[in-house]
Amino acid sequence: MSDDRTTGWLDPNEALDDAGRRAHLTGVLKRTIEICWDGSPHYRAKLEEAGLTPDDVNDLDDLARIPITSKKESRGTMLGTGTIPLNEARRIFVSPGPMFYASQRRSDPPLARGGTPLALAYHAMGFREGDIVLNTFSYHMVPAGFGLEEQLTAAGCAVIPAGPQNSELQAEVLAKLPVAGYVGTPTFLKLLCDKAGELGIDPRKDWHLEIAFVTAEKLSEDLRSDLEERTGARVRQIYGSADGLLPAYECWAAQGMHIHPDQIFEVLDLETHEPVPPGTPGEVIATVANPNRPLLRFGNLDLVSMRDDPCPCGRTGPRIERFVGRADESTKVRGMFLYPEEIAEALARFPEIVRWQAVIGREARGTDDLRLRIELNGEEPSGLRDRIAEAVRGRVRLRAEVDVVPTGSIPEGAKRIEDTR
């Protein structure tokens, strides 16, 4: 790994002090309000209902007066939170629902170098001008393939538009071209490593990867270590969303994901909508001054916890500590929020488990009953249920009964948390 990939520049807005960051984000809020007032009937109606005009929003303290827009609300219109008429779009993307949206108008100028949403993330991870990058995200219907390619080329990189297929050919391309960067999911990179082995290619010796940008899946530290050992590349992740949030991104230090400085990023309690302290899970509420797709206190149902200690890279803003789960998958048990991702983290240390499901019911006395149904890949080892129960209790702070069920008892695609109360 060259020194240039661990040093480089910081955008001035990534290294602001608290007062400077507050002033900058106040500007972001004012611009977003103006965009929404002039260009979004949905947001303007919500502001008017709350008795607010652009003149009433002058400081970050005014943020709490603005109604939150839920992801469910945005699904109620064809354009979601977008402001581009679809017949003026350069491309129309499709999300589950279906929802249709565009990130650019045909009349928009090309993306400026350094001015794209991912420019800071690419540089923080170590991508540099002149890199050849393999883009393995899909180019069909969804925005990932085209969106990442456009921003990579704006950053001065050459892109191989591979998509998530032809793994054998991709493994060979990585051996024959000086491809410095990978963009895709961590599991597809692992698949490429496995395919290379089948072809007699050693990814660490025969490939030239230096940076792997991964997203769209959970990156465990075990998987990160495995990929870095096999490829010799630095593996870093972003937190992003097809809803239009600006990306949060890991730097070379990999001590949490930095919040993009041009985004107001709130993490709020699900019930009170008050900010939660560092280390406590809360729902993501984002405000982004994108004239084509503004977000004004938009809740995307993701749950994260934050950290605010200094990062060795010099970036000064708050960082995402970890992704916890989804608000629409969480529920309360005995007064405590239960998140499927936390259960998954507790169970990840047990290779015997091939499938699991948490079921919440009522005991005869009316109290909540939490049970874990698990399928195993073989005979049940002695004491396994007690070890699982202890691991879960240590992670989610709730006692659960563990039931071993026959293979096939938990349907494919079943809810991770089934609430029968």
User: Does 98 score more than 70 pLDDT?
Assistant: no
The angle subtended at Cα 380 by Cα 378 and Cα 385, nearest 5°, is 135
The mean pLDDT value for 293-321 works out to 94
User: Does 86 score more than 50 pLDDT?
Assistant: yes
The two structure tokens encoding residue 321: 């500590």
CA distances to 13, 283, 325 from 119, rounded to whole Å, are: 13, 26, 27
User: Does 74 score more than 80 pLDDT?
Assistant: no
* pLDDT of res. 108: 84
User: Does 354 score more than 70 pLDDT?
Assistant: yes
Confidence bin at 125 (pLDDT 50/70/90): very high
User: What whole-number distance in Å separates Cα of residue 387 and Cα of residue 389?
Assistant: 5
* pLDDT of res. 191: 93
Q: Which helix (H) or strand (E) holds 44?
A: helix 41-49
DSSP 351: T
Identify the CA nearest to 296 among candidates 69, 28, 40, 44: 69
User: Does 258 score more than 60 pLDDT?
Assistant: yes
Worst-scoring range by mean pLDDT, 72-86, 165-179, 265-279? Answer: 72-86
- CATH superfamily of domain region 331-419: ANL, C-terminal domain (3.30.300.30)
Residue/partner pairs of 260-263 with CB below 8 Å, 24 or more apart: 260/117, 260/120, 260/121, 261/11, 261/13, 261/14, 261/16, 261/21, 261/24, 261/120, 261/317, 262/13, 262/28, 262/288, 262/289, 263/28, 263/287, 263/288
Q: What are 16-35's pLDDT values in tens digits? A: 999 999 999 999 999 999 99
Average pLDDT score over the chain: 90
User: What whole-number distance in Å separates Cα of residue 416 and Cα of residue 395?
Assistant: 16
Q: What amino acid is encoded at 200 in this protein? A: G
Close Cβ partners of 127 (under 8 Å, ≥ 6 residues apart): 133, 152, 155, 157, 180, 181, 211, 213
Identify the CA nearest to 236 among candidates 117, 130, 114, 122: 122
Q: What is the pTM of this model?
A: 0.79
CA distances to 100, 232, 349 from 222, rounded to whole Å, are: 37, 15, 11
Close Cβ partners of 64 (under 8 Å, ≥ 6 residues apart): none
Classified as helix, coil or strand, 128 is: coil
What percent of the chain is helix, strand and coil (3-state, nearest 5)? Answer: 30, 25, 45
Q: Are 403 and 370 in contact (CB under 8 A)?
A: no
What DSSP letter does each residue of 56-107 carry, written as one string? G--SGGGGGGSPPEEHHHHTTSTTTT--S-GGGBS--EEETTTEEE-S-BTT
Identify the CA nearest to 351 among candidates 370, 371, 374, 372: 374
Identify the CA nearest to 99 among candidates 242, 283, 247: 242
The two structure tokens encoding residue 66: 């603005």
- Can you give the residue ranges of every domain in the chain? 331-419
The two structure tokens encoding residue 392: 């879960």
CA distances to 56, 222, 245 from 322, rounded to whole Å, are: 35, 15, 17
Q: Are 327 and 384 in contact (CB under 8 A)?
A: no
* pLDDT of res. 78: 47
User: Does 260 score more than 70 pLDDT?
Assistant: yes
Confidence bin at 68 (pLDDT 50/70/90): very high
* pLDDT of res. 365: 67
Angle of helix 384-396 relative to helix 340-347, nearest 10 degrees? Answer: 140
User: What whole-number distance in Å separates Cα of residue 322 and Cα of residue 4?
Assistant: 28
Q: What are 102-118's pLDDT values in tens digits? A: 878 888 887 777 678 89
